[in-house]
Each structure stands twice: as structure tokens, then as C-alpha cells.
């Protein structure tokens, strides 16, 4: 595994239709801001042609790597990539590129300046520009209010698929993050703050992917159970 400055992890599940174009766009963006980088495609349980296509992309460009997990789970995919990399800065984004790639330099800027070890993108920041259907936006806002109330955290967005961190810091956080699926993002932030690490957030420009793989009701249940677990754990400490 080669040394590099920046890791960009792309968790994927049945994304053969957009994988090549999205990866190409990410690589072109990175070429303009950083010489030393890797793009890691983590396939977690795809049943379409995603694994084969990811393998071909990795063969075509040495800066692209592919990891295969047999079980679906965005959190597990991110964990595997971040724990294996030797990059100084780790990051991830959703393969649909709902977040404008032009926001990426701002995401990693606090890490370059060593101002914060974990930076999260926010769709609910006052300076964010978002195009989203009303019911998903309402669910996100209710979720944030719930997390703020129950867990006492004041961030404006926890679940945006656009985050970056210092690798050494993340090495201390990840072993304590239990969730391997969609609640991973919230627990990552919660554990980081519990350990005393500063978490910075940056506004993003975000356009909803209407072909999202997120199943709303099971995800809501998972999130509620996760919030209860974290609340219970924090009361016991």
C-alpha cells in the first residue's frame, strides 16, 4: 500500500451505472488540488457489475484501489478503508456526488491547517445551498433536533455523506464506533466529541439523488436505536 497525503473513500452498493463517471469526476477534481492522493472504492455486497467495474478502474489507474466486502454496510466500508490507508488525511463521499465536488477543498482545509481533526459537511448550515424534496428535508431536520436534544450535540448536520479526518485521530475514534451502517456518521461525531476532539463543519452545495439506496423507514429505526444506545452508554459513564 503506497504512501500518500489524501485518501478519498467511495462506499458503493450496486452502483455500476454511475461508478465510472463518478470516479472519473473525483479523480479530475483531486488532480487540481493535490498531487499525492488515492481513491478507494469499497464495494460492500453489490450484486450487479459494480465489483468487476471497480476492479477494472483500479487496473487502469494506480491511484485507484478497490476493496470488496461481502456484507452491505456503509460504515463498515468506510472503517475498512480508513484503517488500512497510510494517507495523512482520510475522507469519504457518497458515490452519487450529491455534494458538489467544488466543496471538497473547503472540507479538507481545516485539516491542512491543523485546526480540527474531524470535519463534516452540513446541508443544514445557514450558508448551505440545498435542493431536496420536502419530506426528506423535514426528516433530516427532525433527526438533527432529536440528536441535539438527546445527546446534547449542537452540530447542524450529522448524516451528510461528506466527511474528512486526520488519520491518527481517526485511529483512536474508529475502534469505539460500533455501528457499521447508516448510523455510523452520527456515532463517529459523538465518539469524537466524547474523546475531546474538535469537530468542525462546513456548508455544502447539495443536490438530492432521487435514485438513493437509502431505505427511509429501516434507517429511521436504526438511527433511533443508535441514539438510545449512545444515550444509555453516556449515562453509564
Residues designated catalytic: 185
* Euclidean distance between the first and the last CA atom of the chain, given in angstroms as a whole number: 39
Q: What gap in Å lies between CA 83 and CA 63, rounded to an integer? A: 18
Q: Report the number of secondary-structure helices (H) and strands (E) in the chain.
A: 8, 9
- Listed residue (34, 25, 46) closest to 7, CA to CA: 34
Q: At what angle do helices 19-33 and 104-112 cross, to 10 degrees?
A: 50
Burial of 215 (0-12, 13-18, 19+ CB in 10 A): exposed
Residue listed under C-alpha cell 487502469: 60
Amino acid at each position: 500500500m503506497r504512501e500518500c497525503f489524501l485518501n478519498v473513500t467511495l462506499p458503493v452498493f450496486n452502483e455500476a451505472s454511475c461508478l465510472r463517471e463518478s470516479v472519473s469526476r473525483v479523480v479530475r477534481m483531486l488532480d487540481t488540488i493535490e498531487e499525492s492522493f488515492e481513491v478507494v472504492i469499497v464495494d460492500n455486497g453489490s450484486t450487479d457489475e459494480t465489483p468487476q467495474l471497480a476492479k477494472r478502474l483500479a487496473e487502469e489507474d494506480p491511484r485507484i484501489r478497490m476493496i470488496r466486502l461481502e456484507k452491505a454496510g456503509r460504515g463498515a466500508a468506510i472503517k475498512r478503508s480508513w484503517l488500512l490507508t497510510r494517507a495523512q488525511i482520510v475522507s469519504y463521499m457518497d458515490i452519487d456526488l450529491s455534494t458538489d465536488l467544488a466543496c471538497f477543498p473547503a472540507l479538507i482545509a481545516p485539516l491542512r491547517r491543523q485546526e480540527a481533526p474531524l470535519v463534516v459537511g452540513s446541508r443544514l448550515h445557514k450558508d448551505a445551498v440545498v435542493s431536496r424534496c420536502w419530506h426528506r428535508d423535514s426528516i433530516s431536520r427532525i433527526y438533527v433536533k432529536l440528536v441535539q436534544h438527546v445527546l446534547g450535540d449542537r452540530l447542524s448536520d450529522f448524516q451528510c455523506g461528506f466527511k474528512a479526518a486526520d488519520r491518527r485521530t481517526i485511529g483512536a475514534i474508529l475502534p469505539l464506533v460500533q455501528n457499521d451502517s447508516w448510523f455510523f456518521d452520527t456515532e463517529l461525531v459523538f465518539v469524537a466529541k466524547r474523546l475531546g476532539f474538535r469537530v468542525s463543519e462546513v456548508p455544502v452545495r447539495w443536490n438530492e439523488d432521487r435514485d438513493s439506496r437509502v431505505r427511509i423507514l429501516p434507517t429511521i429505526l436504526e438511527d433511533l436505536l443508535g441514539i438510545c444506545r449512545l444515550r444509555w452508554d453516556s449515562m453509564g459513564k
